């Protein structure tokens, strides 16, 4: 099972050109992926779409025949002119059967205490899109998100929520609820196998990263890179070419996996050459 996570920056490359097809080509060149998770996908934000179709999920459906495309809008609002809706969020495309889809709103606390020195910062709602797909060995929950950039307290709350959802879903798998066939209570594809990926906007030495890996619940998470390359520095996935948001390249796009999947982590790669977004695509291979 091959999964790619990619913050597409609404498909805008470092050449300032919005090109949805180019991003798909980059992903296909990286791997014959089963699942691709994208962050920063837009609908009807004309300042973001350029000359490309304003409905980016619909455009991706045409570019990915054989895949089911699921979009989760973290932002869903009426346009300023009041005539159409605008959406911004995460997308997952899967050619594996999808047993379940969940749209999860992340915490959205006041980004910072307002002071004369820092009266406000940019912020917007964030969400997680969770799909339970059928891998060759059974159901796998794939969760993708894009956490807060400008506020560390908000980002930490969101990371904690992702970790706690994993624990909650895993507990359902370990202690499955009663079912009632033919109703919404019918058997679900509960599973311990979990992948949480996306643009987390934190680094490996951050409190948020430590919160994701907090041990002792019985349903712990692991940074997939560390399973293959223990002790080695995490590769850069952001600010390799564009230093708008900081002076040095950093790694902030991750794949976290459940304990039940540790033995299946066989491959990890970052395309550090492409400039089709301000982030680099990351590949995880599970066998």
Reported as a single tens digit per residue, the pLDDT across 181-206 is: 999 999 999 999 999 999 999 999 99
Give residue for tokens 């969940």. Answer: 102
Query: What integer pLDDT is reported at residue 113 of this predicted model?
Result: 61
DSSP 233: P
Please say whether the dihedral angle defined by the alpha carbons of residues 209, 215, 217 and 222, taken in this order, is positive or negative. positive
Reported as a single tens digit per residue, the pLDDT across 97-116 is: 999 999 999 999 987 666 66
Q: Measuring CA to CA, which residue among 107, 191, 99, 171 is closest to residue 145?
A: 107
Tokens for 259? 């304990």
At 251 the three-state DSSP class reads: coil
Q: Measuring CA to CA, which residue among 208, 58, 198, 212 is closest to residue 126?
A: 198
Cα distance from N-terminal residue to C-terminal residue, the chain: 6
Q: Angle at the Cα of 279 (from 273 to 283), degrees rounded to 5?
A: 70
> What single string gives the DSSP state of each residue in 153-190?
HHHHHHHHHHHHHHHHHHHHHHTPPP--TTSTTS----
Q: Measuring CA to CA, which residue among 49, 69, 75 is closest to residue 57?
A: 69
pTM over 0.85: yes
User: Is the Cβ–Cβ distance between 111 and 151 less than 8 Å?
Assistant: yes
User: Is the Cβ–Cβ distance between 141 and 96 less than 8 Å?
Assistant: no
102 pairs with which residues across the strands?
130
Q: Is 153 left (phi over 0), alpha (psi -120 to 50) or beta?
A: alpha
Q: Per-residue pLDDT for 52 more than 70?
A: yes
Nearest-angstrom CA–CA distance, 268 and 235: 10
For the segment 132-145, the average pLDDT, to the nearest whole number, is: 98
Query: What integer pLDDT is reported at residue 48 of this predicted model?
Result: 93
Q: How confident is the prediction for the chain on average, in pLDDT?
A: 96
Domains and CATH numbers, the chain: 2-114+121-286 (3.60.10.10)
Q: What percent of the chain has pLDDT over 90?
A: 91
> What single string gives the DSSP state of each residue in 2-53?
EEEEEE-GGGB-TTS-B-HHHHHHHHHHH---SEEEEEEEEES-HHHHTTS-
């Amino acid at each position: 099972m091959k999964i790619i996570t990619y913050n597409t920056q609404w498909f805008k490359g470092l050449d300032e050109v919005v090109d949805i097809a180019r991003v798909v080509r980059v992903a296909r060149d990286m791997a014959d992926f089963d699942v691709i998770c994208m962050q920063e996908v837009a609908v009807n934000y004309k300042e973001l779409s350029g000359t490309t179709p304003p409905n980016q999920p619909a455009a991706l459906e045409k570019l990915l025949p054989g895949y089911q495309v699921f979009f989760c809008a973290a932002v869903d609002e009426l346009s300023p002119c009041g005539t159409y809706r605008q959406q911004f969020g995460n997308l997952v495309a899967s050619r594996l059967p999808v047993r379940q889809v969940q749209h999860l709103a992340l915490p959205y606390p006041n980004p910072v205490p307002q002071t004369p020195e820092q009266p406000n910062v940019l912020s917007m709602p964030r969400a997680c899109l969770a799909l339970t797909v059928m891998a060759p060995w059974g159901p796998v929950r794939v969760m993708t998100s894009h956490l807060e950039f400008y506020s560390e307290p908000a980002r930490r709350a969101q990371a904690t929520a992702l970790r706690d959802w994993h624990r909650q879903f895993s507990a359902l798998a370990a202690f499955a609820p009663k079912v009632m066939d033919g109703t919404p209570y019918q058997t679900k594809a509960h599973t311990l196998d979990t992948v949480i990926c996306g643009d987390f906007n934190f680094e490996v030495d951050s409190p948020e990263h430590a919160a994701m890996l907090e041990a002792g619940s019985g349903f712990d998470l692991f940074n997939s890179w560390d399973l293959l390359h223990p002790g080695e520095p995490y590769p850069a996935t952001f600010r390799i070419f564009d230093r708008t948001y900081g002076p040095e390249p950093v790694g902030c796009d991750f794949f976290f996996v459940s304990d039940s999947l540790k033995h299946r982590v066989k491959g990890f790669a970052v395309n550090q050459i492409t400039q089709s977004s301000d982030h680099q695509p990351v590949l995880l291979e599970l066998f």
